[in-house]
Structure 1
Amino acid sequence: MLSTDLLRDAFGRVQGAVHASLVGAGLELLHYRPDREANTIAWLVWHLTRVQDNHVADLMHEPQLWTTDGWHKRFDLPFPVAATGYGQDAAEVAAVRVGADLLLGYFDAVHERTVAYLGTLHEDDFSRVVDTHWTPPVTLAVRLVSVIADDLQHAGQASYVRGLAQRAGLH
């Protein structure tokens, strides 16, 4: 199996987890917080999608879909356009008040672009250094695995919060 096949499978698992946390979710469920500092499903999915969009666009040397496809206007969030959610506080988390269809639309567009990008790669591309700010320098393979790991953690958190919200009687 080629590395691209493994990565496609892994990004497909992210997609499955994101869809499972969003499909049929109403606004009350998407914005549920187990406590005042907790992340919501809406914020978690927005954040993981922003990270994937940001990192893959950078690898492609292309602009992010967030801006080129106008997602930032549709979401209409009170943050700088470049925000990805990193380091945001509880009030900023609460500001992501959007519905499942919008989240799914943005996620699926980013996922589709990511999978298309993977189709352009060859085995020897994965050892290419893409970031020298770390020791050791980050290769393309490591960056993609990092995105997958981050996305899966947040998708799992979204699923967990959905379970807590449903146990609390929300839909």
Structure 2
Amino acid sequence: MKTAELLLDGFGRIRQAVAATLEEADAAALARRPVGNGNSIAWLLWHLSRVEDAQLASAAGLEQTWISQGFAARFDLPLAPRDTGYAHSTEQVDAVQAAPELLLAYYDAVHSQTVGFLTTLDDEDLDRIVDTRWDPPVTLGVRLVSTLADCLQHAGQAAYLRGLHTARPGA
């Protein structure tokens, strides 16, 4: 297996988790926040999509699909156009609400751009420096793995919440 194939498999698992979490989801379940102030499913899936979109678009030298494909306008959130959700207040988390179809359409657009980029990579590309703000500077390989790890964690959190919202007492 080549590195690009491994990365494609990993990012494909995010896509599977997002789709499974959204399957037959309703607006109430997507907006519900555990303990009243935790992150909702909608926020978690929007955030992981924004993170993957922002990180991979930057590394690939592409525009974020959030902007280029009009998702910022379609979601119509009271947030800055390049906001990805880091350090959101409880009010900002509450503001992120969307239909399951829109959340999936956005993630699918992000995933499509991710796949397009990953298929162009050779092993040597992973050593390219993509962020000099850190010491040591961040390579493409490190950025891809950190993005994959972050998004998989959020996908798991969203799936867990979906299970909590659909679990039957005594089941």
TM-score, with length taken from structure 1:
0.96
Q: Aligned in 2, Cα 1:59/1:141: closer, same or farther, shift over 3 Å?
A: same
User: What residue number does 1:42 align with?
Assistant: 42
Task: Determine if contact 1:22/1:100 at 8 Å carries over to the other structure.
Answer: yes
**Are 2:128 and 1:89 equivalent residues in the alignment?**
no
Q: Identity of aligned pairs, percent?
A: 49
CA distance in 2, matches of 1:168, 1:60: 44
CA distance in 1, matches of 2:44, 2:7: 22
| 1:56 counterpart letter in structure 2 | L
Equivalent position SS for 2:9:
helix
CA distance in 2, matches of 1:63, 1:168: 43
Deviation at 1:168, TM superposition (A): 6.6
User: What residue number does 2:157 align with?
Assistant: 157
How many residue pairs end up in the alignment? 169
Equivalent position SS for 1:51:
helix
User: What residue number does 1:113 align with?
Assistant: 113
Equivalent position SS for 2:32:
coil
Matches within 5 A, 1:138-153: 138-153=138-153
Deviation at 1:103, TM superposition (A): 0.2
User: What residue number does 1:54 align with?
Assistant: 54
| 1:41 counterpart letter in structure 2 | I
Aligned-residue Cα RMSD (Å) equals 1.1
CA distance in 2, matches of 1:2, 1:163: 35
| 2:38 counterpart letter in structure 1 | A
Runs of 4+ in 1 over 2 A off after TM superposition: none
Equivalent position SS for 1:148:
helix
- Structure 1 residue runs of 5 or longer lacking an equivalent are none
CA distance in 2, matches of 1:168, 1:147: 34
Deviation at 1:145, TM superposition (A): 0.5
Moved more, 66-75 or 29-38: 29-38
Deviation at 1:167, TM superposition (A): 2.5
Moved more, 58-67 or 147-156: 58-67
TM-score, with length taken from structure 2:
0.96
| 2:136 counterpart letter in structure 1 | P
CA distance in 1, matches of 2:133, 2:25: 40
